[in-house]
Chain A
Amino acid sequence: MSDPAPLIRARGIRRSYAVGDRTLEILHGVDLDLYPGERLCLMGASGTGKTTLLNILGLLDRPTAGSVHIEGRDGWSLSVAERAELRNQRMGYVFQFYHLFAELNAVENAVLPAMIHHGAMAYMSHRKEYRDRALDLLTRFGLAERLKHRPGKLSGGEQQRVAIARALLLNPPILIADEPTGNLDRATGEKVLELLFAEQERRGLGLLLVTHDDSLAERCDRVIYMEDGLIRGQRVLRSVGGSTDSPELPSGEATAPA
């Protein structure tokens, strides 16, 4: 059986920064694939380059070397506008600190990706459709009573649920979550995760999750361990599509430069 095409295929990702007159390399050459329906967890201590890798895979930060293909398209060889379109249509982001707009209420925050996608006229003609979609998501996330509330009037858990609704509004196939429960207490974090995983399963999304939490990692299909800018190894807990045994993704030791 041939493997399904990966949603994200990253090869030889390096990222270095100039610090004064010397260069600091954060990522030393990372390969990674994310498949449809796969729940992939990225673990490692602070400062190992997890967030840097996530930003590169999410087309927010350009790698010093290497390539990132999103559904077969080389993300970093596209124009600025094409890359922005890819982020808008094919990826959803969930951040540790929710990152909602303080001036907008829950519904307005949730429909923002649609507003970015359309010009004023086009958006107005689809306005009801997007609002209904946002209302449906927020209601399902238990926020029916909080629709008109601004982030300042919402709890951390509620804010993160609005952020997930925003990430899912345009039905992207890829969801990138950077420590989505890192700023929440355990009970609230658990509820948010339940919701996130349920949506991921329901929609068959490829979920790329960064976490420090071992118990959270246990609930993923595959866990990749990072250390000093390299992948040190991976554990496959459940096989999903083409990621079974992940033959094209050797362990970290094999890809690490000498």
Chain B
Amino acid sequence: MYRFFLSQRYIRMRPINWIGTLSIFVAVSALILILAIMSGFLEKSREHLRGHLSDLVIAPSFDIPLNSNGQTPPRAAGPILEAVRAHPSVQAAAAQMVWFGMLVPPRGETVLSDPSGMGMVMVSFVGVDIPDEYGATSLRKDLEIKVENGLPGQRPENLDDPFAYPKDYERDPDERPLDCILMGERLAANWGLRKGDQVELATATLDPDTGSFRQAANRTVVLAGTYRSTFNEMDLSRIYMKREALADWLGRHGQYSQLVVKLRDYERDWVQTKADLRQELGQRGLIHPSPKTYTPGDFGWEIQTWEDSRHSMLAAIENERALLGIMLGLVLLVAGFGVFAILSMMVSEKRRDIGILSALGATPKGILTLFLSIGGLEALVGAFLGVVMGVYAAHNINDFELWLSSTFGIQIFDRKVYYFDHIPTVIEWGGIVLIAVAAVGTALVAAAIPALRAAYLNPVDALRYE
């Protein structure tokens, strides 16, 4: 009984003991806040990395023969789309045509954002089929963006037909009908383009006879709207148009470059689906036959998951998590040292009490438990308050940041640097429990050293101490 009674009395009566609690409190709340913000940033980075990418991308190498007969994968999208959609795990699939080209500035004006200073920006043209594309990628969501960051929202008027002419576009009845395009919001803003403006695109196509590039005629198109994905770089370089329009421009009717595939449950099914499709499509001669040995997570070469295509950057994120863990461990170590220091001081101050307890019949084990209880109680109170404070701070970090910047003019979070407009936080309860348990564990280990010293103190020496 005395262990609990004395430990709580010592803590209550001696304010200096609260320093141990305070160090655990500060460490736990700081760790939870750091974890929430880091997880938020990591999650955003993952989303950002994923950007427009669909779950799976199937890109056959059309120029490499499938077999000794010299047969190559079919250039039409129909058969492969049908085969892919037949797989039970596939929710949607769409054909895309991807080609490279340039955006030509109107009337040769200098474009400030163009780092090359040549007045032209390299872009990729993505020919898509609506509504297939909506089912397989995030394009529809990307077109639905609201007005933020002072950029004008220029969503197409009818999302069911995003490549229709804008309402106020005045079409010259004598002119050949122009195709419509969608471009990234930031690219449009950099170029000062508004919905309904005409834009000139240029590209090079392959000469079907020689296989070498030849200049294609420039094409003037109409900006039908803008989109915003979470991957800034993509928004600056991707221009969407109808697949048939792009094919027509390039002189390759009915062709496709890749299939984008959305799975019903990516996390659950990707390994199996990737393997099934490699086998199925390989057998049908729609892609190249798969190698005999297949290991999950292998990059493949014609079927890739979005994670395969972002492998190195995702690995960097995982590295950050590991570094975060080490950093958090160090913070806990410092908090544990706080408990150790306070308890060591206490054992020195309480030598006489330890001697009296021995004389009154306390065992070394009892005295050990007494001082461990003090460390444990301090840690429990500190960890509990730390969890409350940490979660509260993580929930309200943006208000706090706003208050700091409006009151003191201190800007912690520069919205211009990131592609999101608030500090992202994710409350991971598993992580929080782990932090609290680790804090209490560290405090107990730190308390064990002075507690052992107290337990094995010679009572005669302790009583002599005045």
Contact = CB atoms under 8 A, between A and B. Distances in A.
Nearest to B458: A61
Contacts of A157: none
A55 interface: yes
Contacts of B458: 61
A97 B466 contact: yes
B361 A89 contact: yes
Given A84-B361, A93-B360, A101-B356, A119 B459 contact: no
Interface in A107-126: 112-113, 115-120, 122-124
A120 B1 contact: yes
A187 interface: no
A87 interface: yes
A84 B1 contact: no
Given A84-B361, A101-B353, A101-B356, A112 B2 contact: yes
B352 interface: yes
A49 interface: no
Interface stretch (B4-12, B189-197, B225-233, B296-304): B4-12
A113 B364 contact: no
Contact of A84 (B4, B9, B363, B466): B363
B109 to A, nearest CB: 82
Interface in B6-57: 6, 9-10, 13-14
B358 A60 contact: yes
A184 to B, nearest CB: 16
A23 to B, nearest CB: 17
A84 B358 CA distance: 7
Interface in A83-101: 84-89, 93, 95, 97, 99, 101
Contacts of B361: 84-89, 113, 116-117
B357 interface: yes
Interface string A163-193: 0001000000000000000000000000000
Main secondary structure of the interface of B (DSSP, over half): helix
Contacts of B388: none
Interface residues of A, number: 31
Contacts of B1: 115-116, 118-120, 122-124
A36 B353 CA distance: 30
A84 B362 contact: yes
Given A60-B459, A80-B364, A87 B4 contact: no
A104 interface: yes
B360 A104 contact: no
B73 interface: no
A85 B366 CA distance: 12
Contact of A60 (B5, B13, B14, B460): B460
A130 B360 CA distance: 16
Interface in B443-464: 458-460, 463
A86 B358 CA distance: 11
Contacts of A104: 9
A58 interface: yes
B15 to A, nearest CB: 12
Contacts of B364: 80
A124 B4 CA distance: 12
Interface string B73-110: 00000000000000000000000000000000000000
A118 B14 CA distance: 26
Interface string A48-79: 00000001001011000000000000000000
Contact of A99 (B4, B5, B463): B463
A26 to B, nearest CB: 12
A97 B4 CA distance: 26
B118 interface: no
Given A80-B363, A80-B364, A99-B352, A116 B459 contact: no
B433 interface: no
Contacts of A124: 1
A103 interface: yes
B9 A115 contact: no
Contact of A116 (B10, B353, B360, B463): B360
A113 B1 CA distance: 10
Contacts of A58: 359
A46 B230 CA distance: 86
Contact of B4 (A80, A113, A120): A120
Contact of A87 (B10, B13, B14, B360): B360
A18 interface: no
A81 interface: yes
Most-contacted residue by chain A among B352, B356, B365 (CB, 10 A): B356
A61 B460 contact: yes
Nearest to A122: B1
B360 A88 contact: yes
Contacts of B6: 101, 103
Interface of B: 1-2, 4-6, 9-10, 13-14, 352-353, 355-366, 458-460, 463, 466
**What 4 A-B pairs have minimum CB-CB distances, sorted nearest first?**
A88-B361, A123-B1, A115-B2, A115-B1
Interface of A: 55, 58, 60-61, 80-81, 84-89, 93, 95, 97, 99, 101, 103-104, 112-113, 115-120, 122-124, 166
Given A61-B460, A80-B363, 7 more contacts: A87-B360, A89-B361, A99-B463, A103-B9, A113-B360, A115-B1, A118-B1
7 contacts: A60-B359, A84-B366, A87-B359, A88-B362, A103-B6, A116-B357, A166-B360
